[in-house]
Structure 1
Amino acid sequence: MAATITYVFTSHSPWTYLGHAAFLDIARRHGAAVEYRPVPLGAIFAETGGQPLAKRHPVRQRYRLVELQRWRARRGLPLNLHPQFFPVDPVLADRLAIAIAEAGGDPDPFLRRVFAAVWAEERNLADPATIADLAAASGIGPELQARAGTPEIEAA
């Protein structure tokens, strides 16, 4: 029986962007299925005592930038350290990823575009037109995009 990995992530994290492809490569190499679970990181921080970036100590903020540069070089990915649309509410992208998975599709192609949109392309994930463009580029039709806005997907 193949293992299933519950992949907990947020669509606007630079760490998700930097680690996503490597994680999926490992999962696929080992024949593991991936269950996508986007999470509202802000709500988790509020519940668990974590701090959003702007409220962290300046030393921690600077260290984050050093680590982002290091991992950007390691992964060979373009990454703007100060993207125009960050922080951003990722709920539209997260809901569409859930809708794709629930429909039996693979959210990976869409998510790769989402991550790059924030960290390499200066695009706004809170803009429905941006999400529609990313979805269309990923082969996701308007019906599935509409499904992402339903109460069932919101609850998921």
Structure 2
Amino acid sequence: MAHIDYYFATLSPYAYLAGDRLERLAEKHNATITYKPLDILALFARTGGTPPKDRHISRQEWRAQELPRQARKVGMPLNLKPAHWPTNAAPSSYAIIAAQNAGGGDLGLLCRLFLTAVWAEERDIAEDAVVRECLERAGFDPALADSGLLSGAETYAQNLEDAVKANVFGSPFYVIDTGQSFWGQDRLDDVDLHLSGEL
């Protein structure tokens, strides 16, 4: 059985555009997933990346074209300039970590609800009410927003260290236990081929 370490940021537009494709691939190939939300700006600082606002204008203009193209390609709504981006990603990340530890709900759905809140619904995922609502809609106890704070903070920091050690430098990033890594939602077809033994 294959295992996938899924590194991502709850503020990442490309993680949003992945939709539920990772979960469908995992089901198809009987693979397991560990969700590893992390601080993407800290990851950039550690691995030579640049925050979007600090990138050269040519890169910013390309991003402004590429994101809507990718959204149209997968049929997903996208607000290129969300009202609440960037925001504090820690509360949503802690909630995902706590939910993963608790079990009982749909973790993939929880991640998608946070990402959709940012990129399609103009909601602030740093707000407690939004975090609780997303937990509840994904089948988890909304009280995890409180009870998971300490362990969430520790794991969130560890996820960053794990990412650096695994040569992760962006979001979304898929590290397969075969030793192969894939960066970007546009590489999920390659993940599929790899898990099929064809790549």
* TM-score, with structure 2 as normaliser: 0.73
**After TM superposition, where is structure 1 displaced by more than 6 Å over at least 4 residues in a row?**
none
CA distance in 2, matches of 1:109, 1:38: 14
Structure 1 spans left out of the alignment, 5+ residues: none
Letter of the 1:23 partner, please give it: L
User: The residue matched to 1:142 in structure 2 has which SS?
Assistant: coil
CA distance in 1, matches of 2:38, 2:50: 16
Give the aligned partner of residue 26 of structure 2. Answer: 27
CA distance in 2, matches of 1:104, 1:58: 43
Letter of the 2:122 partner, please give it: E
Tell me the alpha carbon deviations over residues 29-72 of structure 1, each in whole angstroms, 9 at most, x when there is no partner.
11101111011111111122211010001110110111101110
Give the aligned partner of residue 115 of structure 1. Answer: 115
Give the aligned partner of residue 126 of structure 2. Answer: 126
Contact 2:10 2:115 (C-alpha < 8 Å) held by counterparts: yes
CA distance in 1, matches of 2:17, 2:58: 22
Tell me the alpha carbon deviations over residues 69-112 of structure 1, each in whole angstroms, 9 at most, x when there is no partner.
11101110011011111112211111111111111344112111
Letter of the 1:120 partner, please give it: A
Contact 1:147 1:153 (C-alpha < 8 Å) held by counterparts: no
CA distance in 1, matches of 2:68, 2:152: 35
Give the aligned partner of residue 91 of structure 1. Answer: 90
Letter of the 1:140 partner, please give it: F
The number of residues matched between the two structures is 154
Give the aligned partner of residue 48 of structure 1. Answer: 47
CA distance in 2, matches of 1:65, 1:22: 23
Letter of the 1:125 partner, please give it: I
Alignment RMSD (CA, Å): 1.3
Letter of the 1:56 partner, please give it: R
Give the aligned partner of residue 147 of structure 2. Answer: 147
Letter of the 1:89 partner, please give it: N
% of aligned pairs identical? Answer: 35
CA distance in 1, matches of 2:141, 2:123: 20
Contact 2:107 2:138 (C-alpha < 8 Å) held by counterparts: no
Give the aligned partner of residue 104 of structure 1. Answer: 103
CA distance in 2, matches of 1:148, 1:61: 36
* TM-score, with structure 1 as normaliser: 0.92
